[in-house]
Amino acid sequence: MSASRGFTLIEVLVALVIVAVGMAALLGSLTSAADSSIYLRDKAFAEWIALNRISELRLAARRPSKGKSSGEIDYAGRKWKYEQEIVETDVPGLLRIDVRVADAVEQAGRRAKDSWTVTASGVVGDAVPAPSGLEPDWNGGPFQGEPATSPGEALQPGEAPAPTPGGTRPTT
């Protein structure tokens, strides 16, 4: 007589425990990946908002005034809070812009006011360097201040060499 042998109750319970532990680990991993994805999306949105704010200040017709200001903006179907600070730099005529951005709902629930999602910095100003004499001639000539194109031919600052037949510049 042969008896068919199946699994005992203890073997089935051990197998179920192993499957449950594996499923819990898998679910934890998926949850962590989803949280990371949401965090990175929010961080990207906040960075775009900060960089857009810096660009708006740089492109404005008037120079921005120094100091702190804040505001809210609707972006991607959500409200975002930003705070900007404009300060003088060591370079005369140059201002530094620091913009901090966070989700308005999350920012209101946080205890620390300085917990922002993103901080971006930029500069704006009218500091222009003195001409060096090496600016390009956009009309097709050589760089101003470039060495003479042939021996004995000296160029004065701002003077371009005479064009050669065919409209090309002389080669050395």
Q: How distant, in Å, are the alpha carbons of 79, 120, 125, 138, 143 from that of 54?
A: 18, 8, 12, 30, 34
Mean pLDDT value across residues 75-89: 94
Rounded to a whole number of angstroms, the CA Rg of the chain reads 33
- Distance, in Å, from the CA atom of 49 to the CA atom of 55, rounded to the nearest integer, reads 10
Beta bridge mates, 68: 85
pLDDT band at 115 (very low <50, low <70, confident <90, very high): confident
Tens digits of per-residue pLDDT, 6-58?
889 999 999 999 999 999 999 999 999 999 999 999 999 999 999 999 999 99
Percent over 90 (pLDDT), the chain: 52
Domain positions in the chain? 9-125
Q: Name the class of domain 9-125.
A: alpha beta
Inform me whether the pLDDT recorded for 164 exceeds 90: no
* Phi, psi values for residue 139, rounded to 5°: -90, 10
DSSP class of residue 102? E
More confident residue, 59 or 155: 59
Q: Are 94 and 86 in contact (CB under 8 A)?
A: no
Whole-number pLDDT of residue 49: 96
Q: In this predicted structure, what is the pLDDT of residue 61?
A: 83
Query: How high is the pLDDT of residue 48?
Result: 96
- Rounded to whole angstroms, the Cα distance separating 53 from 60 reads 11
User: Residue 171: what pLDDT?
Assistant: 54
pTM for this prediction = 0.60
Which H or E run contains 94?
strand 94-103
Q: What is the pLDDT of residue 148?
A: 46
